[in-house]
Amino acid sequence: MGFHFDCITQPLSNIYGHYARVVCRHPLPFLLLPIAISLGLGSGCLRIKLFNDADYLFTPTDAESIENRDYIDDVYNGIRENGMTVSRQSTSISYGRVIIGGAQKQNILQTEEFLEVIRVHETIMNISIPNAGSEYTFSNICLAWMGNCKNNAILKIYNYDATRVPQINISYPLTVLQTGEIFEIGQNLGDVELVGETQIVKSTKYIMLSYHLETSDIISELWEKEFLKVMEEFHSEVIYIARDTSSTLEDEFTAATFSVVPLIPVAFLLIVSFSVISSATMDWVVNKPILTLLGVMSAILAGFAANGLLLYIGVKFTPISALTPLIIMAIGIDDVYILVASWRKTNVRSSVEDRLSETLAEAALSITITSLTDFLAFAVGCTSVFPGIAYFCIYNAVSIVFVYIYVLTFFLSCMVITGRREAGNKHCITWKRVVPVDEAPSSRYRLFCAGGPSKNLESSDSSHIMMAFFRDYVGPIMGKHWIKMATLLVYVMYIGFSTWGVTQLKQGLDSRDVVLKDSYLIRFQDIEQSSFQTFGPFIQIVFTEEIEYWKPDVTKNIMNLHKHLETSKYGLNSEYFTDSWIRSFNEYLSVTEQTSSNRTIFLNILQNHFLVQNQFKQFELDIVFNKDRTGITSSRFLVGSIRHHVGLDTSEDVELMETFREIVADFEFETFAFSTYFLLYDQYKTILPATLTNLAIALVAMMIVSILFVPKPICSIWVVVSIASIELGVLGFMTFWGVRLDTVTMINIILCIGFSVDFTAHMSYVYTVSPFPSRNDKLIDAYYTIGMPISQAAISTLLGILVLVNSPTGIFISFFKTLFLVITIGLIHGLFFLPVLLSLSPIEMFESMIKSKSETKINKSKMNGNSEAIMNDNHGHVYGVDEMNTLKMYNIGLTERPDTQSIDLIDATNPAFTDTSTILHFTTPTVLV
């Protein structure tokens, strides 16, 4: 039957067949042992502790900013004897922030409104936290330099006096008072309107006040909670307040996770209900509601054991990992559908052992392929540079292994018990022996009790009505030439739309999606992104090697670096926004008419004259001397940045970061640029390359598995092409649905690989091993075998995730949207695009031409093996028997199987037609020759 790679599949199929017989003979150990394991390992779930550090989970571990942050921590954190300033921090610190806007007026720089702003400030300053017998206010725990808390410049300008607002004109972003004091207020004012072409502020819609704390210990946490409470209770008819703290994101992330947990039982009920209803028949013997329920239970037991094991060994459980049960139920029920569909195709008059052996020999390879590829997809995800994705994939990869084992043990033993019930013609609910439909004593008995094979009919299987629908309607329609051409046209259009969508895809995690929809943080971030994004972060420029700063040419080069940074696209083009000890030191030398011609003089003036003065003392935080203070091992300066767009624009953020990095990379000394914001920008930068890398590795793994397990190489290639096509569609249509590519949707892209394989590998494998030589007959047989199971799997998964559609959190809504696209596009590929591509693949057409003289035409209505089949070739041979027993069979070798009373049909005149791995079995009471 063409070019096959079945050296692996055929032996495995035989092994599974023998294994099924072992389970059938001894079902109890395979039933009870998995339950005991789940109870033992599942107790580890009691150790669950949510790990919700969003900065860690969503920052790539190989990010340049992490390496730079660690350097600053190691080198500079030991020199904070007199305190620290906010802009020189290397990590996020505790803080509370408020954005204040006018309730009736657009301009908050008016006496009445500003009076309320001052009242907000005083309320915050008076927050008191009792702890260990002491009272702590902001003044006690603030991030201070030289004993002074960081002041909000806009309040300092007016000296905390609202009556001075009309009297003092301020300029934006720098205000210089008559006293000579300079205040940078770019970070304090939002939606600023200037007077004409000047820098004088005409009005501003918002004022932001920030309060940074020295530590992140328990006192800071208590202060933040009290801060949120006090600001929530603050009432004013004149202004309104939006608030935020450093712990808000993590707290809201945790709350978002717990908001989803109650939805999991609902998803479970939806999946179980659909599974029972979709598998139901009017035959109360072959109906399997309890078996279907046990199939879902098998996945739950497997997930319980897997999660407990990982928690026992200390693997972090993240908020996204809470979605693992939904994924595992979807994958587990998929395997159940495949096994049940294969069981339905077996001869109901055969023994339970034979039926189970035949079922597993046919279906186990299919679920092995998908389980292996699902595992590999998540295994690739385990290597992700994003810890949040890696932990999620670890939980799912291990769970898939357990699901596979439990399906082949627990669920298989349940099938044995169910098979024995069917063999005894017992009711699926009451387990009482009943009679077939045609022997029912009454219509009520026929409706609620009757079932099982009739003694008067020769039906030999228990096919579901939907299996017959795919065989009798969908398969023949998709086999029509014009339908195939129309499908190809739709596919080309799909590729075009998807490709365009990918080019428009937005990247980066919007922190608003991590919190609850009604969170107070939403309002704060909406205003911040729309009104306070003009000024970017202060960038630390760090020299990591010893430099001879006293040499004129070195000083000149460093000053050129300053100028280059300030005049770059994202520089502020003003030295007022550069806080540099080198520039200030050179100006000090010029004013004092001193020179630093050598190392000794330079260090003497720097240490004993310059740094001891109060106005320069903050530069102690920027210079690291060696142990004997005879040299500078590292130093840094700060430079301001500006953004050219408001709102969330991750591409600009990445460009800003890369601009500063590229400038310092060209400097003659070892230097790097760093900001705490770069940790976030590195996420934006990494997300697409990381996604594409994971996809490439996973696709290679899928191809290897497909080549090994799908007998025809051309079909393996189509599986991989389909996976890539589904991924393209998901990424493209995410744009049309307003979903960003971030670490959460990246998880779905990994899921997409697994689910894509589920849809495509099943169809490809069944098409490949179909015993029928005609391409259209293979197509119909594939639809009959696998159409219903993959449709059930898709719908049950969609029902499972449907609970997320009204989730109070953006990340879970994005999860729903992306997974909906994965399932929908995957199902369309599995049921329509892939079958057409398989039937038109070159190797199929080549084989068709070779066998054009002996191609078999098979009556599609008989493909299920329920009745006799008629097979003709061009030599005039007739294979099989019709219902009227009038046709004759010529040149056929007959091999009777006593156990099933079936006949193996082997074409002795055409050895090329014979495939011993897929011999047809037609059951008939008599054979006329």
Segment of 285-289, 532-536, 808-812, 851-855 carrying the highest mean pLDDT: 285-289
What residue has token string 């084992």?
405
The predicted pLDDT at position 927 comes to 28
Q: How does pLDDT run across 284-316, given as a tens digit for each residue?
A: 888 888 898 899 899 999 999 999 999 999 999
Closest CA to 756 of 788, 797, 784: 797
User: What residue type is assigned to position 854 of the chain?
Assistant: S
Rounded mean pLDDT, 588-617: 90
Which H or E run includes 16? Answer: helix 9-25
- In the 8-state DSSP scheme, what is residue 783? I
How far is Cα 816 from Cα 506, in angstroms, rounded to an integer? 18
With cut-offs at 50, 70 and 90, classify the pLDDT of residue 2.
Answer: very low
Lowest pLDDT segment from 82-91, 437-446, 575-584, 667-676? 82-91
| Closest to 516 (Cα-Cα) out of 803, 322, 232, 257 | 257
Which of 905, 901, 904 has its CA nearest to residue 925?
A: 901
Token readout for 447 is 């409706």
Contacts 24+ apart (CB under 8 A), 485-488: 487/832, 487/833, 487/836, 488/836, 488/840
Q: Is 51 left (phi over 0), alpha (psi -120 to 50) or beta?
A: beta
Region 346-363: mean pLDDT is 89
Helical H runs in 407-474?
412-423, 443-448, 465-469
Torsion, Cα 883 888 889 890, to 10 degrees, reads -170
Write down the pLDDT at residue 861.
Answer: 39
Supply 499's token pair.
């490709």
329 near 800, Cβ under 8 Å?
yes
SS3 892: strand
In this structure, how many other beta carbons lie within 10 angstroms of the beta carbon of residue 623?
A: 20
pLDDT for the residue 458: 57
Respond yes or no on whether the N-terminal peptide bond of residue 173 is cis (omega within 30° of 0).
Answer: yes
Q: Please state, for a pLDDT cut of 90, what percent of the chain lies above it.
A: 36
SS3 call for 180: coil
For 309-362, the DSSP string reads HHHHTT--B-GGGGGHHHHHHHHHHHHHHHHHHHHHHS-TTS-HHHHHHHHHHH
Residue 901 exposure: Cα atoms within 13 Å on the Cβ side = 10
| CA 469/CA 278 separation, integer angstroms | 13
Reply yes or no on whether the pLDDT at 899 is more than 70. no
- 430 contacts 355 by C-beta, under 8 angstroms: no
Evaluate if residue 862 carries a pLDDT over 50: no
Tell the burial category of 456 from Cβ atoms under 10 Å away from its Cβ (0-12, 13-18, 19+): exposed
- Percent with pLDDT over 70 in the chain: 88
Neighbours of 483 (CB within 10 A): 14
| Separation of alpha carbons 302 and 28, rounded Å | 18
Name the one residue in this structure whose structure tokens are 């806009």.
154
| Of 549, 618, 616, the residue nearest 584 (C-alpha) | 616
873 is written with which tokens?
A: 């070739």
Kindly tell me if the per-residue pLDDT of 379 is higher than 60: yes
Q: Is 211 helix (H, G, I), strand (E, B) or coil?
A: strand
How many whole angstroms separate alpha carbon 642 and alpha carbon 573?
Answer: 10
What stretches of 427-487 adopt beta strand conformation (E)? none
Measured between alpha carbons, how far apart are the two ends of the chain, in Å?
Answer: 27
What one-character DSSP code corresponds to residue 607? I
892 or 730, greater pLDDT: 730
Query: Tokens 């998964």, residue?
Result: 797
CB count, 10 Å around CB of 492? Answer: 9
Taking only the tens place, the pLDDT of each residue in 714-758 is 777 788 888 889 989 998 999 899 888 887 777 777 777 777 777
Which residue type, as a one-letter code, is found at position 923? Answer: T
CB neighbourhood size of 909 (10 A): 13
Q: At what angle do helices 324-345 and 387-406 cross, to 10 degrees?
A: 30
Q: Contact at 8 Å (CB) between 286 and 422?
A: yes
Q: Tell me what the mean pLDDT of segment 74-82 comes to.
A: 78
**Distance of CA 868 to CAs 2, 516, 647, 784, 920, Å?**
26, 62, 69, 17, 11
Q: How many residues would you count in the chain?
A: 929
What is the model's pTM? Answer: 0.76
Q: What is the Cα–Cα distance from 575 to 64, expressed in whole angstroms?
A: 27
Residue 10 confidence (pLDDT): 79
pLDDT digits (tens, 9 = 90+) for 422-478: 999 999 888 999 998 888 888 888 888 988 887 765 555 556 788 888 888 998 999
- How many Å apart are CA 513 and CA 522, to the nearest integer? 9
Alpha carbon distance 465, 463 (integer Å): 7
Rounded Cα gap, residues 560 and 852, in angstroms: 80
